[in-house]
């Protein structure tokens, strides 16, 4: 199976960010997007539309590829999606921008200058999002997220630090 690409509806933004954190190409709907537009976006971009909305899932018999989830919280939704797609939560951690999904680039020497002194000692990796024009480094937040991805990978559906 080729690596799946996703489009999370606006109710599943947090799940979408975890998928991005794992390295999956994941679009997240903008609030107010029409159902039909989402189905068309999923089709045009070759994505699975992930939703908890049964009304949206009525398009299932159309041309859209729709995954209807039923779980209520983010870890349980991640578990449910994993049963459908065998998600590799450590496939390429933090290789995509969590905010916009763009593949990150290694930070240049100049971009490293933006990493604060206090973070330098513990950060061995810094990455740059050309879309957001922002530099990201492995601070405590990223380390906590990495622990959560490791939990998910082991089938432990808890979010570290919550």
Residues that bind Zn ion (CB under 5 A): 97, 99-100, 102, 129, 131-132
Beta carbons within 10 angstroms of residue 121's beta carbon = 7
Cβ neighbours of residue 63 under 8 Å, at least 6 residues apart?
39, 43
- 21 vs 97, which CB is nearer to Zn ion? 97
Q: Taking CB positions, which residue lies at the least distance from Zn ion?
A: 97
CB of 100 to Zn ion, least distance (A): 3
Which residue, 41 or 102, has its beta carbon nearer to Zn ion? Answer: 102
* CB nearer Zn ion, residue 102 or residue 153: 102
Q: Are strands 48-51 and 66-68 parallel, antiparallel or unpaired?
A: parallel
Rounded Cα distance between 160 and 162, Å, is: 6
CB of 160 vs Zn ion, minimal distance in Å: 23
Edge-to-edge strand order for the sheet containing 126-129? 105-106, 126-129, 134-137
Cβ distance to Zn ion smaller for residue 63 or 133:
133
Pick the closer one to Zn ion by CB: 19 or 66.
19
| Residue 144 neighbours by CB under 8 Å, 6+ apart | 160, 161
CB of 149 to Zn ion, least distance (A): 19
Q: Kindly state the tokens that stand for 149.
A: 């991805």
Question: Distances from the Cα of 104 to the Cαs of 67, 81, 82, 134, in angstroms?
Answer: 27, 25, 24, 10
């Amino acid at each position: 199976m080729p690596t799946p690409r996703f489009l999370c509806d606006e109710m599943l933004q947090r799940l979408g960010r975890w998928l991005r954190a794992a390295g999956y190409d994941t679009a997240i709907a903008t609030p107010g997007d029409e159902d039909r537009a989402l189905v068309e976006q999923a089709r045009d971009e070759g994505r699975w539309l992930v939703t908890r909305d049964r009304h949206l899932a009525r398009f299932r018999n159309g041309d859209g590829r729709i995954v209807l989830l039923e779980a209520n919280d983010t870890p349980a939704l991640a578990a449910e999606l994993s049963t459908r797609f065998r998600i590799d939560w450590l496939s390429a951690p933090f290789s995509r921008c969590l905010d916009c999904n763009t593949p990150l680039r290694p930070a240049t020497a100049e971009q490293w200058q933006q990493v604060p002194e206090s973070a330098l000692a513990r950060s061995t990796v810094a990455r740059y999002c050309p879309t957001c024009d922002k530099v990201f480094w492995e601070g405590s937040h990223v380390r906590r997220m990495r622990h959560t991805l490791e939990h998910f990978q082991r089938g432990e559906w808890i979010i570290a630090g919550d």
